[in-house]
Amino acid sequence: MKAGDRVLVHAAAGGVGQAAVQLAKAAGATVYATASPHKWPVLRAQGVEHLFNSRTLDFADALEGGVDIVLNSLNKDFIPAGLRTLAPGGRFVELGKVGVWSTEQVAAEFPHVEYHNFDFSELPADEVTRINKEIMTDVAARIAAGGLDPVGTTGYTLDEVEEAFGVLSRGANVGKLVLGFDQPAPPAAIRDDRTYLVTGGLDGLGLLTARKLVALGARHIAVPGPGEAPELAGAHVTVLGPDLAGLERTPPVAGVVLADGDPEQAWRLHERFPAWTSSSRTPTSPPPSARPTGRSPRTPSTTSSAPARRPAPPRWPSPGARWASRSTRCTPSPRPRRCAPSPPWSAPAPA
Ligand SMILES: NC(=O)c1ccc[n+]([C@@H]2O[C@H](COP(=O)([O-])OP(=O)(O)OC[C@H]3O[C@@H](n4cnc5c(N)ncnc54)[C@H](OP(=O)(O)O)[C@@H]3O)[C@@H](O)[C@H]2O)c1
């Protein structure tokens, strides 16, 4: 990336987008950005003048053939639309994970562009460590020298994890959301003769959670499918069919971790296994009014690298509840979604 390049940054108000905007501007490039219109003031304040709605394809007609680099993370029609904006020799950098095009497909339909599709999470762990170290060293030095600002962050306590994932899943965040671990959870008593159900446990955060459970002593992990059972040395992994088929063949469930960020899944589990909500550790009253649902996302802190903080709300669920979540039912539109609280649920405490 060099001075004078015209760079299209999709989802420019998100975590990656915010970093990309700064790097492009620092290189002397002209930034064209997409974002939800209510986030445009943030981008304007950062000196981004050319703004398009990230939920429409308007940018493609406006920029057709005039862009040197596209940083893409949007899918479906946004992929050919983004490719269409590139000038001959332009580069399409694909960060997305869903419905991405193959190199052959791009070469066939857009032979005049370069296509770079990579997924950081697919690199070997030592390679990720090396690259992370290199990038962090460089970025920290540039921030210290005043050439870059830290990306804005909004802080959440562990008790607010559901709200944080709700903001992320609605795409309502600006910059990064940061979970604070300043209230350490009590150590979990993991049993080797019980099953731990991890939604989203086939990859990403869920797989990391499953690995941690095994490291803590779990020997039976159940994961909703479809997908291939991950190798977890020392543990037996059951991939469940529709409606959690196969769970009846595993030892009794002693814990559930919702790692797929899907509140509807939480609600389905609650409805399917009401007994799991009967634990004496399950809160029986609604959460404190200090935890309203459906409120506007917070404004991120952009003045410091420390997450924006606010006084912690009263703890809920009760400190004794180890495996608990609170599901929220949301209507699909309009954004921001209206969410109504649903009954809390939790798995029974290990017997
Ligand atoms: N390949 C890799 O190595 C790699 C590495 C890091 C991240 N990524 C990918 O890069 C993308 C951005 O990561 P991030 O950390 O910046 O995520 P992020 O902070 O959550 O930003 C994502 C943004 O996408 C926008 N968006 C556009 N259309 C959306 C839709 N239909 N639904 C929800 N959001 C939509 C939203 O902003 P607006 O409301 O403004 O549109 C949202 O804030 C993700 O897809 C991530 O998986 C890839």
Q: Quick check: CB of 287 below 6 Å from ligand 1?
A: no
Residue 170 belongs to some domain of the structure: yes
Cβ neighbours of 195 (radius 10 Å): 22
Phi, psi of 173 (to 5 degrees): -75, 150
Residue showing tokens 């694909």: 94
Q: What is the pLDDT of residue 281?
A: 33
Atom of ligand 1 nearest to the CA of 170: 33
Q: What is the 3-state secondary structure (H, E, C) of 135-196?
A: HHHHHHHHHHCCCCCCCCEEEEEHHHHHHHHHHHHCCCCCEEEEEECCCCCCCCCCCCCCEE
Residue 328 belongs to some domain of the structure: yes
List, for residues 200-220, the tens digit of each pLDDT value. 989 988 999 999 999 999 999
Please tell me whether residues 69 and 205 are part of one structural domain.
no
Q: What is the pLDDT of residue 112?
A: 97
Atom of ligand 1 nearest to the CA of 173: 43
Q: What is the pLDDT of residue 297?
A: 53
Please tell me whether residues 190 and 256 are part of one structural domain.
yes
Residue 138 belongs to some domain of the structure: no
Beta bridge partners of 220: 195, 236
Q: Quick check: CB of 74 below 6 Å from ligand 1?
A: yes
Q: What is the pLDDT of residue 256?
A: 87
Residue 217 belongs to some domain of the structure: yes
Q: What is the pLDDT of residue 84?
A: 98
Residue 131 belongs to some domain of the structure: no
- The number of distinct structural domains making up the chain is 2
Q: What is the pLDDT of residue 6?
A: 98
Please tell me whether residues 177 and 273 are part of one structural domain.
yes
Please tell me whether residues 266 and 205 are part of one structural domain.
yes
Q: What is the pLDDT of residue 119?
A: 84
User: Range of 264's domain?
Assistant: 153-346
Residue 141 belongs to some domain of the structure: no
Q: What is the pLDDT of residue 341?
A: 31
Q: What is the CATH number of the domain that holds 73?
A: 3.40.50.720
Please tell me whether residues 314 and 187 are part of one structural domain.
yes
Pocket test for ligand 1, best of 38, 52, 54 (most atoms within 8 A of CB): 54
Spatial separation of the C-alpha atoms in residues 18 and 11, rounded to whole Å: 9
Please tell me whether residues 260 and 304 are part of one structural domain.
yes
In the reported structure, the alpha carbon of residue 288 is separated from the centroid of ligand 1 by a whole-number distance in angstroms of: 32
Instruction: For Cα atoms 262, 265, 268, give the angle at the middle one, nearest 5 degrees.
Output: 155
In the reported structure, the alpha carbon of residue 74 is separated from the centroid of ligand 1 by a whole-number distance in angstroms of: 7
Q: What is the pLDDT of residue 280?
A: 30
Residue 146 belongs to some domain of the structure: no
**Rounded average pLDDT per 10-residue block, the chain, 351 residues:** 97 97 97 97 96 98 97 97 98 94 97 93 89 94 95 90 93 93 74 93 92 95 93 94 92 88 75 52 33 48 42 30 29 30 32 35
In the reported structure, the alpha carbon of residue 179 is separated from the centroid of ligand 1 by a whole-number distance in angstroms of: 18
Spatial separation of the C-alpha atoms in residues 60 and 190, rounded to whole Å: 53
Q: What is the pLDDT of residue 274?
A: 61
- Residues ≥6 apart with Cβ < 8 Å to 202: 223, 225, 227, 228, 230, 239
Please tell me whether residues 26 and 113 are part of one structural domain.
yes
- Residues ≥6 apart with Cβ < 8 Å to 110: 80, 83, 84, 86, 92
Atom of ligand 1 nearest to the CA of 97: 47
Please tell me whether residues 228 and 271 are part of one structural domain.
yes
What pTM, to 2 d.p., does this model score?
0.67
List, for residues 213-264, the tens digit of each pLDDT value. 999 999 999 999 999 999 999 999 999 998 899 999 999 988 888 888 777 7
Q: Quick check: CB of 19 below 6 Å from ligand 1?
A: no
Q: What is the pLDDT of residue 262?
A: 76
Residue 298 belongs to some domain of the structure: yes
In the reported structure, the alpha carbon of residue 345 is separated from the centroid of ligand 1 by a whole-number distance in angstroms of: 30
Beta bridge partners of 56: none
Q: What is the pLDDT of residue 110?
A: 98
Q: What is the pLDDT of residue 21?
A: 98
Please tell me whether residues 90 and 230 are part of one structural domain.
no
In the reported structure, the alpha carbon of residue 136 is separated from the centroid of ligand 1 by a whole-number distance in angstroms of: 21
In the reported structure, the alpha carbon of residue 169 is separated from the centroid of ligand 1 by a whole-number distance in angstroms of: 10
Q: What is the pLDDT of residue 158?
A: 83
Last residue of a domain, one of 100, 118, 136: 118
Please tell me whether residues 74 and 217 are part of one structural domain.
no
